Structure 1
Amino acid sequence: MGFTTVTELEYDAATARVYEHGWQSWSPSGWYSLDARPPRPTAPNHHVMAYRPDVEARGFQGEGLLAVSTGDDVLVVGATTPDLVPSIRCEARGDRLVISADDEVELTRSAPANANQALADWADTFGSFDVRVFGPSWCSWYAYWGKVTERDVMAEVRQFDDHGLSVDLVLLDEGYQAEIGDWLTPRDDFGSTVRLAADIRSGGRRAGIWVAPFLLGSKSETARLHPDWLVPGVTAGTNWGQEQLVLDVTHPGAARHLQDVFTELCRQGYDHFKLDFLYAGAIEGRRHIPLNGIAAYRHGLRLIREAVGPNRILHGCGAPILPSLGLVDCMRVSPDTDPLVDPPSGDISQPGQRGARSTSVAREFLHGRWWANDPDCLIVQPDIQDRERWAEHVENAPGLRMSSDPIGSLDRWGLDRTRELLTPSSARPHPLKDPDA
């Protein structure tokens, strides 16, 4: 479906601002002046993995949500349902801003105290859910990256006790698996996910684990044995030195496999599931049952929820934002942070503190309304660039508080700051700042 005009606005170029909402967790989002150049992918692989695949942006473009502040009021243009997420454009043509969309949208005009409140009011109308409180957590990713072992994680658990750190959840991140997609086969030198969960839980803590449920690495045993479980001819990008393929959750065998994986992880003792690279499940392609990408994605998340039950935690990451509504308990609302402030590519969808800060701030209005926001982990060991500013961002951001440093590497300042910031989340919406303040 092509773009059709939905409204036109008079504007003052000096005061008008446009809010672009990105497709998924890692897609840049924010308010921009009319003379700004919004972030766009700098490489084809970035486009697939961090923006909306197969959609080229023109002018200002939001995925399911775009807003225009004219100075006097705010016009919010949004999707009508999480099952249908239109692309919405804003382009200056002469003395008018022309708003167009490629499917049905709703328009809401208001004059709030600040422009971000208009986004919050729209989110309240679009969908409101009970939001859980999350205890302070620790994640293995920035401490050990993809080389994590069972022994590493348990060494950190002992450090929590030695330093009096309050940690409720210990999250085993990427690196334990033999291959992407072979979730129940640990890497040869990792150890045992079964024993790790039991050891974490023996100290009164909860055990969490990372899974990219809709990805299958081309080198994985699962992809080799079950090519019929794949969405044919579709790639979710190149990562881990191989092409990433997409699991067809509408195929009966693939659906059983998906649920079997999560049933087994629950049996092992994990009750918090960080579901990463979820964008893959929404990529368009020919599936066993002819569903579009969003419908297939929501079907896949429902299958996971059926397997884990209502009380375990589904934590979205790299996830299409609007299509995840009502299906996850917490959501990464930014790209990954990083020891570096800026990614070498200059693309703020890629790991880096600057992009993680800006997009997280631009999505603060979602916290306490749709889920608990995840602004990404606190990392404050001495070699982290601008670590004081990153810690300040985590302190001011609503949502999860999760450390990801090797505790033994922290100096006195880093340890004190970690102890200070490891607090439970709030279930309430966050006070919103004026984006022009």
Structure 2
Amino acid sequence: MIEVTGGRLRYSVGGTRKTAVFDGLTGFKGTDVLISPRVQGFGNEVVFSLTIEPADEMVLDELSLEIPVRLSSEDRVYVNGFQGWTESREFDPAESLKGVRAAARPLLGPYGDYAFHRYSGRSGNPHGWTYTYVRRGRECVFVGSLSEAAGYTLFVYDARAGMLRVAKDCAGVRMQSPVVAFQLYMASGSEEDVFRGYFEQLGTPSRPRPRPCSGWTSWYNYYTRISEDIVLANLDALASRGIPIDYFQVDDGYENAVGDWLVANHKFPRGMKPIADEVKARGYKAGLWLAPFVCEKGSIVFREHPEWLLRDARGRLVRAGFNPNWSGVFYALDFYNPAVRSYLARVFDTVLNAWGFDMVKLDFLYAVALIHRDGRPRGQVMTEAMDFLRKAAGDRVILGCGVPLGPAFGRVDYCRVGSDVALTWEDRFLRWLGYRERVSTANALRSVIGRWQLNGNVFGSDPDVFILRSEGNRLSADQRYTLFLLNHVFGTLVFTSDDISAYSTQELEMYLSQFPVVEKRIHRVERSGGVVHVEFTIEERRYEVFANLEAREGVAELGPGVYFGEDGFAPGGARINLRPYQSKCFLRAGEDAFSVVGSTGHLFPGCEVSRIAVDGSDIVIEYHERARRRCDVYVGVPEGEDSYRVNGETVVPERVLGMRVIRARKGGSR
């Protein structure tokens, strides 16, 4: 049974500092404040809420709860990073979590929680935000916030004391009316059950379930060096080859400066509407990048509207970060300034209606809530800002990026769940600095895997791009395939920035193997050493992926049954040897007659096939309209017929690991 045993409120009234210690069931009643807990449910699943009612205005210093949690060396503690880019994964209870080094904090501090949470650096003292769990084998003890509108929810473990402290990010916030400070879902049970309960209790705003989609974005190849010619050349490379992507998105580099969203620079002489028109004329949906809550020094906004910039209590501009691609330091806008809201509303109306873009990628969103505002804690500011963006975008698609995830739940269609990937596996210097939001392929994949449960439940996950091209790419062949495979396993929106006209034959074949992009249901994710084991289904087909994320060799073992992978058929129980950074995907052969038991044309074998029709010994295999590769398809058949007519050709069954299998050939134009 999981329960809140007590808590503490530290506050000031009239300049006098006070502390109220309260019980988790009975709360606290004093002359200054009434603290009222409420528990709904019983046993393994409860919703705990806590209301604070001040008698007069008070200034909050600390509000925290205590939940006893005994940790053993076999347990794993999940740490959800502050925002989408922040490292998020399961920790050993004895691990330490250290923040960015002091020398780097002025430049890197705004991207994470370094400015308002003190990292102890002690063993057994990790912390995370919005939700957490302790995993014991396949069982979990779970605690998750149902709302961040009263402040971000912080979870701090103390392994030695056997305690989980749950706190609100509220230091310095003025309160003068009742507030429901905590709304927590607490449960114990299987990983699947506790997350299902959490998502049901969240009651996220109603949006259509995000569908799997693919696309192209300009950033990870051209960065700010894009031009109209480059964009249209990549568009032509995709369209002329009949590549069935969904979105074609122009990223940073088209605007006059960051903040000047309605003024295209000289590299886009016709403006942005003709770009959107050409994208849609080729049958794709058009996307555009915006960072609505920041501006750089070189922008018209910074120069002509200094009153739009956010300032702290001492009147200083609030720095939102440092970007060498821009004017260096960049700054947050004051979201509560009516003129800023009016400007942003005009930006969205122009981009979506006048220019005709179908999707907006909204980046650096954390910047809107770097400080508390007018009695509003950071979490409330972020929540209200996300509500504003959702309303401004209407029914168009939002891809959120660089945003604390809780306020994004149900308010964006797709959301980044890891850091930016890189043309290398890891940035050792930034890792040494303790920068948890660093651009790093390894860092991105760890978080994407760590947040797998969110995908399809609160938004569609964006794992960031895959990079298959050779030019300028220092990822090894195994690392490229691992990134490509895991992005498709864990992501709903999967893009690349590669110029596909420059692909080698092998690179193009791998790229085409993603089509059709399909929906997956993950059932289990396990980690053993550096090897990640994923079990999932696509329709009725069952798959297993083994991914080695380490520089040393890895070993895994197939479960019972017969499997099909890149090397053909393999028996259950077979040992899987993995090179450093290598991954392998296997289809488990089904027992139903006339089902696909293997294929060579799709990243996930069998997904090329849309339907198999059987009439006696005549078989018709229909292929998905988006399948693009020539391939062999293997179908299991029952005992009886000596031969079959498959799409008009005679095929004799073969015996493979106890199965009768026929092989059919799918043609293609590429």
Alignment TM-score > 0.5, same fold: yes
Q: Secondary structure of 2:210's match?
A: coil
Listed as ranges, the matches of 1:72-83 within 5 Å are 73-83=139-149
CA–CA distance in structure 2, aligned partners of residues 39 and 164 of structure 1: 48
Taking the aligned partners of 1:119 and 1:435, their CA distance within structure 2 comes to 19
Match of 1:277 among 353, 357, 364: 364
Q: 2:526 aligns with which of 430, 434, 437?
A: 434
Change in Cα spacing, 1:387 to 1:238, as seen in structure 2 (3 Å) is same
Partners of 2:458 and 2:110 lie apart in 1 by 25
The one-letter code of the counterpart of 1:283 is L
Q: Out of 243, 248, 270, which is 2:334 matched to?
A: 248
Instruction: Name the TM-score, length of structure 2 as normaliser.
Output: 0.61
1:197 to 276, 294, 307: 276
Indicate the SS of the match to 2:259: coil
Q: Is there any run of 5+ residues in structure 2 with no aligned partner, and where? A: 1-60, 169-181, 534-670
Could you tell me which of 149, 152, 162 is aligned with 1:85? Answer: 152
**What is the match of residue 230 of structure 2?**
152
Residues 183-192 or 27-36, more deviating: 183-192
Q: Judging changes above 3 Å, is the alpha-carbon distance between structure 1 residues 214 and 408 closer, same or farther for their aligned structure 2 residues?
A: same
CA–CA separation in structure 2 for the residues paired with 1:221 and 1:285: 27
Is 1:99 the counterpart of 2:159? The answer is no
CA pair 110-69 structure 1, distance change in 2 beyond 3 A: same
Name the structure, 1 or 2, with higher relative contact order (CA <8 Å, separation 6+). Answer: 1
CA distance in 1, matches of 2:253, 2:307: 26
* Equivalent in the alignment of 2:126: 60
Deviation per residue, 1:242-278 (Å, 9 max, x gap): 2221111211111100100111111101110000001
Does structure 1 conserve the Cα–Cα contact (< 8 Å) formed by 2:108 and 2:322? no
Match of residue 314 from structure 1: 398
Alignment-derived partner of residue 349 in structure 1: 437
Q: Deviations over 1:129-184 (max 9, x none)?
A: 54221432111111211111111111011111333321221100111111110111
* Residue 301 of structure 1 pairs with residue 386 of structure 2: yes
Q: Is the Cα contact below 8 Å between 1:82 and 1:325 reproduced in 2? A: no
Partner of 1:325: 409
Q: CA deviation at 1:53?
A: 4.3
What amino acid is the match of 2:239?
Answer: D
8 Å Cα contact 1:235-1:245 kept in structure 2: yes
Q: Tell me which amino acid in the other structure corresponds to 1:211.
A: L
Counterpart contact for 1:136–1:423, Cα < 8 Å: no
User: Residues 162 and 259 of structure 1: is their aligned pair in 2 closer, same or farther, counting only changes over 3 Å?
Assistant: same
User: Structure 1 regions of 5+ residues with no counterpart?
Assistant: none
Preserved CA contact (<8 Å) 2:65 2:165:
yes
Deviation at 1:358, TM superposition (A): 0.5
Instruction: Name the aligned partner's letter for residue 256 of structure 1.
Output: S
Partners of 2:449 and 2:402 lie apart in 1 by 17
Please give the per-residue CA displacement for 1:333-380, whole angstroms capped at 9, x wherever unaligned: 000111110024124521111011000011110011101110111211
RMSD (CA atoms): 2.2
Which 10-residue stretch deviates more, 97-106 or 169-178? 97-106
Q: What SS class does the counterpart of residue 194 from structure 2 fall into?
A: helix
> In 2, Cα distance between the equivalents of 1:261 and 1:52?
32
Count of aligned positions: 428
Q: Is the 8 A contact 2:147 2:183 kept in 1?
A: no
Pick closer, same or farther for the CA change 1:404–1:324 going to 2, 3 Å.
same
1:328 is aligned with what amino acid?
V
Deviation of 1:404 (Å): 1.4
- Are 2:419 and 1:335 equivalent residues in the alignment? yes
Letter in 2 for 1:280: A
Q: Out of 107, 118, 126, which is 2:202 matched to?
A: 126
Paired AA for residue 308 in structure 1: A
Q: What does 1:134-149 correspond to in 2, within 5 Å? A: 134-149=212-227
- How far 1:119 moved relative to its partner? 4.0
SS of the counterpart of 1:209?
A: strand
Measure the CA separation in 2 of the matches of 1:122 and 1:163: 44
- Give, in whole Å, the separation in 2 of the partners of 1:413 and 1:188: 37
The residue type paired with residue 419 of structure 2 is: P
> Partner amino acid for 1:410?
Y
Please, what TM-score do these two structures have when normalized by structure 1? Answer: 0.91
CA distance in 1, matches of 2:183, 2:287: 38
Question: Could you say what secondary structure the match of 2:162 adopts?
Answer: strand
SS in 2 for 1:188: coil
Once the two structures are superposed, what CA deviation does each residue of 1:82-110 show, in whole Å capped at 9, x if it has no partner? 313211100122xx421112233636232
**Structure 2 SS opposite 1:401:** strand
For the Cα contact (< 8 Å) 1:381–1:405, is it kept in 2? yes
How far apart, CA to CA, are the structure 2 residues paired with 1:216 and 1:49? 15
Asked if the contact 1:374–1:399 (Cα under 8 Å) also holds between the matched residues in 2, the reply is yes
